[in-house]
Amino acid sequence: MPSLWRYVLVLFLTTLLGVNMAWGKGKNCPPQVNINQAGIEQLRCLKGVGVKRAAAIIAFREAHGPFPGPAALGAILSPKIIARLRPQIITQGPIFTSK
């Protein structure tokens, strides 16, 4: 019987974490995100950017100043992720832009 409870607990926790991880990627995400002004919630709208990466982007920005362009994210994200996100990233203007 204990193994059944363990299975139920693991299933519950993975479901709970899955819902929490998807929280920032909802319908309210803009087509573009200003990486120089966005908070964690806005940065999480970028596919492949979770809480840890969003926090790393903010920490890097606070330590080194604003990003001159998407390529400057190379200190935090892989080139593959940056290439995929390039159309969604802006570095000037409002946090969100509309279509």
Q: What per-residue confidence (pLDDT) applies to 26?
A: 59
> Helix or strand or coil: residue 33?
strand
The CA-atom distances, in angstroms, between 97 and each of 30, 52, 72 are 7, 24, 21
Q: What per-residue confidence (pLDDT) applies to 94?
A: 54
Task: Return per-residue pLDDT of the chain as tens, 99 residues.
Answer: 556 666 566 655 555 555 444 444 556 888 999 999 999 999 999 999 999 999 999 999 999 999 999 999 999 999 999 999 999 999 986 554 444
pTM: 0.67
Q: What per-residue confidence (pLDDT) applies to 92?
A: 86
Q: What per-residue confidence (pLDDT) applies to 49?
A: 94
The CA-atom distances, in angstroms, between 33 and each of 19, 49, 62, 66, 70 are 22, 12, 17, 14, 11
> Which residue, 48, 89, 49, is CA-closest to 70?
89
> Helix or strand or coil: residue 92?
coil
Q: What per-residue confidence (pLDDT) applies to 8?
A: 60
